[in-house]
Structure 1
Amino acid sequence: MGDSCKRGGSSGGTTTRLLREAAEDGGDSEWKSERPREPWKGEYVKSIVFGGLDAIITCFALISSINASTRSSVDVLVLGFSNLVADAISMGFGDFVSASSEQDVIIEERRVTEWDVMNQRDKEQTELVKYYQALGMDYNDATMVVNIFTKYNDILVDQRMVADKGMLPSDQEVKPWKNGLVTFASFMLFGSTPLLSFIILIPFTDSETVKFISACLVSALALALLGMAKARIASQNIMFSVALTLCSGAIAGLAAYLVGWLLKHVAGLEG
């Protein structure tokens, strides 16, 4: 233990010396003095943001293809909302099934690991020591840590789950049906934004071009806002995240518009 403290003290002194030397050489800009910004946290934040992004891009792409081939607000609204509901149900159910399956797999793998720990304890302890050594821990320290864990079966099983299978313990607070419901609601809410311009402008103009341009602007605004939220979740640069989100939406919309235009003007298909 004393040797470990000495090593820690020596390491701390070396780090301090390197920092001082870097500052003297003008390289202090390489060392971050500010604490990194924490990402957004929340049980359903990711489902809301990423489900919303997918919904906006999908719905905007559909509007683009319909506008290029038929240029009818009725077609845009009918096909847009019907497709939105179908995709929202599919996404919500898919999220529910995915979360349920993930929990089931973790629970089953934990049962296997519990059996291994109870019936092959020496082997499991040895493997855990090797795992900590691979992470850079000294053999004696790794052995001491594992010996402490052997007093607590649940902790030992959790550590073996992480080391052997790369799985964290199952979060019993997570409710798969809630994840699915949140994804469905997010998809419906954000996916409907590109259609709002058509609904709002119907009493004021008959120009399909004006309605389509307004849909582009509304979609771009919604994508930019969700891109900012995505940056907060992933701790990314806000400008880069917004630009990437807008670019993905523009590419999807342009591709869908070109397909609709080609089907109408080249293949001769009329809506």
Structure 2
Amino acid sequence: MSRNSDGATTTTISLLQDTEAAEKNSGGDRPKEPWKGELVKSIVYSGLDAIVTSFSLISSISAGRLSSVDVLVLGFANLVADGISMGMGDYVSSNTEHDVAAKEKLVTEWDVTNRRRLQEQSLLDRYRALGMNHEDATMVVEIFAKYSDIMVEEKMVQNGILSPEEGEKPWKTGLVTFGAFLLFGSAPILAFIVLIPFTQNDTLKFIGACVLSALALAALGIAKAKIAGQNYALSVVGTLFNGAIAGFAAYIIGWGLRNVAGLEEE
């Protein structure tokens, strides 16, 4: 609490309330925040890739007029193999980024300790380039210079590298990617299993696979829009279009190899 020259008292809470009220009235509705986190992104993007990959394989097999057994055997074998590849790829990529960040932090810590004036000048130039005047930029850099750890983090941000302590563990992102790939990639194949008691018509089973793939793609399109803060309708249309193009291309290739190239069974 403080007292002004007129003897009136003001409080920090009152000032904060006035500031919040002014902000609410001045900027309109606050935009919705996107989903955050590496695990969410791994689930959505590996899921999208899995559905498109699995549906494309089924399309090419169906165009070649192979049986439902062929679809199930080849589909699940391809799904597991690709899932392992995707999971290991995500793990290796995340682990490499983590190692690079750790190495970069060691270098930055050495620079801040042994070349402090050069690092301070680098921050000063950056803040001035962002629009600060010389006096304000100098004051900010002088404050950072008192705290070596904060200055290291600021230099890491300036170089576009996250601290190795931030983000998810590489093994966790790899495992999540593998699980999401298997889960969503099985959606197109699921129709061939669900419809077994009801029909032996492979064409109907393929149509069922198309429907389930479209539903899964639409759901992930909504999740993708949530992550990126995009328009839901446009995101859903985009993912459906992506899946349709990939499936159509695979179907045409499978049909062409069988009927045009003459790859008929003997």
Q: What range describes the TM-score normalised by the shorter chain of this pair?
A: 0.7 to 0.9
Identify the match of residue 75 of structure 2 among 80, 86, 100: 80
Tell me how far apart the structure 2 counterparts of residues 120 and 200 of structure 1 sit (CA, whole Å): 66
Aligned to 1:162: 157
Tell me how far apart the structure 2 counterparts of residues 63 and 36 of structure 1 sit (CA, whole Å): 40
Letter in 1 for 2:62: N
Compute the displacement of 1:120 (Å): 0.9
Compute the displacement of 1:114 (Å): 1.1
Aligned to 1:102: 97
**1:163-206: CA deviation from partner (whole Å, max 9, x where unpaired):** 2x221222356211111111000000000010111011112111
Q: Can you give the 5+ residue segments of structure 2 that lack an aligned partner in the other structure?
A: 1-21
Compute the displacement of 1:41 (Å): 2.9
Tell me how far apart the structure 2 counterparts of residues 103 and 173 of structure 1 sit (CA, whole Å): 9
1:222 aligns with 2:216: yes
Letter in 1 for 2:247: G
Identify the match of residue 257 of structure 1 among 236, 244, 251: 251
Aligned to 2:14: none
Tell me how far apart the structure 2 counterparts of residues 65 and 195 of structure 1 sit (CA, whole Å): 13
Compute the displacement of 1:138 (Å): 1.1
Aligned to 2:235: 241
Letter in 2 for 1:82: A
Compute the displacement of 1:84 (Å): 0.0
SS at match of 1:132: helix
Aligned to 2:202: 208
**Contact 1:227/1:245, CA 8 A, preserved across alignment:** yes
Tell me how far apart the structure 2 counterparts of residues 125 and 42 of structure 1 sit (CA, whole Å): 32
Aligned to 1:11: none
Q: Can you give the 5+ residue segments of structure 1 that lack an aligned partner in the other structure?
A: 1-15, 17-30
Aligned to 1:138: 133
SS at match of 2:165: coil
**1:24-79: CA deviation from partner (whole Å, max 9, x where unpaired):** xxxxxxx9621101112345111111111110000000000000013311111100
Letter in 2 for 1:268: G
- TM-score under structure 1 length normalisation: 0.86
Aligned to 2:57: 62
- TM-score under structure 2 length normalisation: 0.87
Tell me how far apart the structure 2 counterparts of residues 215 and 161 of structure 1 sit (CA, whole Å): 47
Compute the displacement of 1:136 (Å): 0.9
- The count of residues paired between Structure 1 and Structure 2 equals 241
Q: Identity of counterpart residues, as a percentage?
A: 61
Aligned to 1:27: none
Root-mean-square deviation over aligned CA pairs: 1.5
Tell me how far apart the structure 2 counterparts of residues 263 and 86 of structure 1 sit (CA, whole Å): 24
Aligned to 2:169: 175
SS at match of 2:164: coil
Q: Which runs of 4+ in 1 moved over 3 A?
A: none
Aligned to 1:23: none
Compute the displacement of 1:264 (Å): 0.4
1:152 aligns with 2:147: yes
**Contact 2:39/2:168, CA 8 A, preserved across alignment:** no
**Contact 1:96/1:176, CA 8 A, preserved across alignment:** yes
**Contact 1:70/1:270, CA 8 A, preserved across alignment:** no
Aligned to 1:22: none
Identify the match of residue 44 of structure 1 among 30, 39, 42: 39
**Contact 1:227/1:241, CA 8 A, preserved across alignment:** yes
Tell me how far apart the structure 1 counterparts of residues 37 and 154 of structure 2 sit (CA, whole Å): 25
Tell me how far apart the structure 1 counterparts of residues 203 and 193 of structure 2 sit (CA, whole Å): 14
Tell me how far apart the structure 1 counterparts of residues 82 and 73 of structure 2 sit (CA, whole Å): 14
